[in-house]
Amino acid sequence: MSTGDPILKVINLNKNFGGVKAITNVSFELEQGGSLGIIGPNGSGKTTLVNLITSFIKPDSGEVLFNEKNITGLMPYKIANLGIARSFQMPRPFYKLPAFKNLIIPLYSPRVKRLEGGKYGERDDVALDLLEDVGFERESPVPYKVAGSLPHGYVKRLELAQCLALRPDLIIFDELFSGMSMSEVASTLPIIEKISEEGKTLVIIEHRLRELFRVVRRVIVLNFGSKIADGPPKEVMASGEVKKAYLGSEVE
Amino acid sequence: MVVSYRKERLDRGIKARSDDIFVISSHRETLYLVLPRIIPIVGILLIPLLKENVGIYWEKVLVITCIISLLSLSWDLLMSVGLVSLGQAFFFGTGAYFAGFLNKSFNWSPLFTIPIATLGGGAFCAILLLPVVRLRGIYFSLITLALPILFMRIIEAGKILGGEEGIVALTPFHSIWIELYVPAIALLFCLFGFRRLINTDYGIVLRGIRDNDRAVMARGINIYWYKTQVVFIAGAVGAFAGAFLTHYYQFAGTSGLGLDYSILPLTCVIVGGSGTFAGAVLGTFILVPLAEILRAFGTLRVVFYSLILLAFVVVLPEGIFDYLQRKYHQYERLASVEVGK
């Protein structure tokens, strides 16, 4: 597939929780290799949208197409095997395992086994390589520590490494930077930029707009479950509706 | 400035040096590593040889203990993927009836009935529990608790498989050595096999499912398939125990589906400590012989049994094995702490 074709297509997605309209008629397309930011005030349905795309929640109506294949309502593990990796907003690592052993799980998935070279090499070595990419020094004790004892910034980067281990085509980051210190963000941002430059398609949900706009060229704004704006960051931020709904006076 | 003391735990030398590749430089270190593994192996294999000294009664206790240990191991394996089973009797009873039925109807020898009951019983349990592995926590437990009771009533009401009388006059084993050694070797095989399995990459996936099943699913792993595989293995081990005891007693009845076989393994794992498999075996080797010793107290037996159980759970909630393991690998000392400068 050449660059420019839509890799992800969301068509008229709807989801109600009882009387609450969590997502109403949200549609968007994302081209191969593109990067999209999703922003919006708290409770506007951003995480619900991720859960709907990755099928952790089934939509009431609407469709999700990935590489022109309808993936609406497939089991989450099937979607992951097709090449969509997601991070969780509240990462819960496998506490009792050493950090690098956490990566054994994605490396053991059918997708990685099927991909070229996925069956070769000790999984432990592959895991340590992946962790080195996200800043766990191989020679230091950090990758060998029990995941439950890692500081929050490392846990988030471990989550990032777990997504990368799947070798996905599309990665969805659900508030990767939340709870990270400034220095942790500063060291993680280049990793994300690098992933984007390598041609992976990214969807990033984020509250830290300055960091987000360094990576994405397009943003969608959600408010009360509806899409209220879609376009390049500068244009979107200038729109009156967005300012009213979300940013108030805090435009950066 | 006040100086107070706190307990400090330090790893013993050899473990600090290397966690998985053992650098062995002396007989003392070799012993340190090998002894905890050799003692149970030699112990379990040696007791049957001493049958003249121990007496046939205690040899029978050994057989029962090994059988219950298998059920405890099977429980602990299910626990390692986060499934809490309250129905070990279902696995046990399935194996018992499979072996009993095949032996009675086709007159097959235990050499065939036991392996078929093991695999068939495992498959039967896995298929029946297939819709249930999607349930988490207490819901899975409730279903497993209900299944053996359900089958017990079906057998009683339907007068199938011998009804209330059970299937009687089955083929016994022709040698006492088979009776003593088959469960002992099966136990050692499962104990060390499971301990190895849980540390492979496959085992890591299983432990991941227990810690956070949604995250494992997001990494492209079909958790329901993995859980089903574990139910099959656990079911097969339980069915083996049931099939063996059926031929040992020459009887398969509804007692095999009784609550005893569900609760006893669970209690043993709680006392011994969950998650290490060795804890499950240790717990069984304490509780089952203890129940026999307490027979001397007649009706008060249950009171003493409960008190001892309570004492274990209150004093060592982590489990006996975890406690012993910690004492073995670490030593404690008092370290001074400066408080209130």
Interface of A with B in 30-89 (CB under 8 A): 54, 56, 75-77, 80-81, 85-86, 88
Query: Which tokens in the block code for residue B284?
Result: 């069984």
Tokens of B85: 């089973």
Residue A166 in this model has a pLDDT that exceeds 60: yes
Whether A120 contacts chain B with CB within 8 A: no
Count of residues in chain B = 341
Helix (H, G, I), strand (E, B) or coil at A185: helix
Q: pLDDT of A42-83, one tens digit each?
A: 888 899 999 999 999 999 999 999 998 999 989 999 999 999
- Res A248: pLDDT: 58
- The 8-class DSSP code of residue A35 comes to E
Domain ranges for chain B, please list them: 10-339
**Residue B114 pLDDT level (bands cut at 50, 70, 90):** very high
Q: Which residue has the tokens 């009683």?
A: B156
CB-based contact (8 Å) between B21 and chain A? no
**Sequence ranges of the domains in chain A:** 6-246
Which range among A137-141, B271-275, B297-301 shows the weakest confidence by mean pLDDT?
Answer: B297-301
> Which tokens sit at A137?
């020094």
Say which of B205, B211, B221 has its CB closest to residue A96. Answer: B211
Read off the pLDDT of each residue in A91-108 and give the average, rounded to a whole number.
90
B212 and chain A in contact, CB less than 8 A: yes
CATH class (in words) of the domain with range B10-339: mainly alpha
pLDDT in tens, B159-176: 888 888 888 888 888 888
Pick the CATH number of A6-246 from 3.30.70.20, 3.40.50.150, 3.40.50.300, 3.40.50.720: 3.40.50.300
Residues of B within 8 A of A102 (CB-CB) are: 208
Residue among B201, B208, B219 minimizing CB distance to A123: B201
The lowest-confidence range among A214-223, B13-22, B147-156 is B13-22
Task: Please say whether the beta carbons of A221 and A228 come within 8 A.
Answer: yes
| pLDDT above 60: residue B23 | no
Map A220-235 to HEC letters.
Answer: EEEECCEEEEEECHHH
For chain A positions 174-233, those within 8 Å of chain B (CB to CB) are none
B53 min Cα distance to partner chain A (Å) = 45
| Residue to substitute from B211, B219, B318, B322, interface A, most A β-carbons within 10 A | B219
| Contact of B194 with B280, CB cutoff 8 Å | no
Q: What is the pLDDT of residue B54?
A: 81
Cβ–Cβ under 8 Å, residues B206 and B229: no
Query: Residue B222's closest chain A neighbor by CA?
Result: A77
Q: Please give the residue of chain B at the shortest CA–CA distance from A144.
A: B19
Determine the Cα–Cα distance for residues B59 and A37; give it in Å rounded to an integer: 70
* Joined tokens for residue A158: 């471990």
Rounded CA-CA distance A164/A185 in Å is 18
Task: Name the E strands within chain B.
Answer: 2-11, 167-168, 251-252, 330-339
- Determine what percent of chain B is predicted with pLDDT higher than 90: 55
Give the sheet arrangement for strand A6-17, strand by strand: A20-31, A6-17, A61-66, A69-70
Is residue B24 left, alpha or beta, with left meaning phi > 0 and alpha meaning psi from -120 to 50?
beta
What whole-number distance in Å separates Cα of residue B323 and Cα of residue B332? 13
Per-residue confidence at A89, pLDDT binned at 50, 70, 90? confident
Name which of B207, B212, B218 is nearest A54 (Cβ-Cβ). Answer: B218
Q: Is B218 on the interface with A (CB under 8 A)?
A: yes
> For residue A236, which of A249, A219, A216, A217 has the smallest C-alpha distance?
A219
Contact A109 B215 (CB under 8 A): no
Please tell me which of the candidates A92, A109, A165 has its beta carbon nearest to residue B215: A92
Asked whether residue A250 carries a pLDDT value surpassing 60, the answer given is no
What is the CA A48 to chain-centroid distance, rounded? 13
Model's pTM, two decimal places?
0.90
Q: Tell me how far apart the alpha carbons of residues B128 and A182 are, in angstroms, rounded to a whole number.
A: 53
pLDDT at A252: 46
CB contact under 8 A, B219 and A105: yes
Arithmetic mean of pLDDT over chain A: 88
Q: Which residue of chain A is at minimal alpha-carbon distance from B223?
A: A77
Contact A88 B218 (CB under 8 A): yes
Residue A46 tokens read as 């951003």
Which residues in chain B have Cβ-Cβ distances shorter than 8 Å to A77?
A: 217-223
Of A56, A101, A166, the CB nearest to B219: A166
A97 vs B202: CB contact, 8 Å cut-off? no
Residues on chain A touching B201 (C-beta within 8 angstroms): 104, 107-108, 123
- Asked if the Cβ–Cβ distance from B219 to A165 is below 8 Å, we say yes
Question: Could you say which residues from 152 to 171 on chain A have a Cβ atom under 8 Å away from some Cβ of chain B?
Answer: 162, 165-166
Task: Find the mean pLDDT for residues B89-107.
Answer: 94
Going by pLDDT thresholds of 50, 70 and 90, the confidence category of residue B278 is: very high
Q: How confident is the model at residue A1 (pLDDT cuts 50, 70, 90)?
A: very low
**Above pLDDT 70, what percent of chain A?**
94
Per-residue H/E/C for B221-283: CCHHHHHHHHHHHHHHHHHHHHHHHHHHHCEECHHHHCCHHHHHHHHHHHHHCCCCCHHHHHH
Q: Indicate the helix (H) or strand (E) that contains A52.
A: helix A46-53
Residues in B touching A88 (Cβ below 8 Å): 214-215, 218
Contact B214 A80 (CB under 8 A): no
Q: pLDDT at residue A3 above 70?
A: no
Q: Residue B216: list chain A partners with CB under 8 A.
A: 105
- pLDDT over 70 at B16, yes or no: no
> What span, in angstroms and rounded, lies between the C-alpha atoms of A170 and A84?
5
Contacts with B228 from chain A: Cβ below 8 Å:
none
CB contact B195 to A (< 8 Å): no
- The reply to whether residue A112 touches residue B220, judged by beta carbons under 8 angstroms, is yes
A93 neighbourhood in chain B, CB within 8 Å:
212
CB contact under 8 A, A94 and B208: yes
Residue B24 scores a pLDDT above 70:
no
Output the pLDDT for position B5: 86
Nearest one of B158, B164, B146, B161 to B96, comparing CA atoms: B161
Confidence at A247, pLDDT banded by 50, 70, 90: low
Q: Which residue has the higher pLDDT, A252 or B302?
A: B302
pLDDT range class, residue A119, cuts 50, 70, 90: low
- The verdict on B42 touching A (C-beta cutoff 8 Å) is no
How many beta carbons lie within 10 A of that of residue B94, not counting itself? 29
Which residue among A54, A95, A165 places its CB closest to the CB of B211?
A95
At A220, give phi and psi (nearest 5°): -115, 135
> Which residue, chain included where needed, has tokens 């669970």?
B266
Which site among A75, A77, A169 would you substitute to test the B interface, given the most B Cβ atoms closer than 10 Å to its Cβ?
A77
Instruction: Give the span between the Cα atoms of A155 and A43, in whole angstroms.
Output: 24
Q: What percent of chain B has pLDDT over 70?
A: 95
Q: Does B220 touch chain A (CB under 8 A)?
A: yes
Cβ burial A81-96 (10 Å sphere, 16+ → b, else e): bbbbbbbbbebebbee
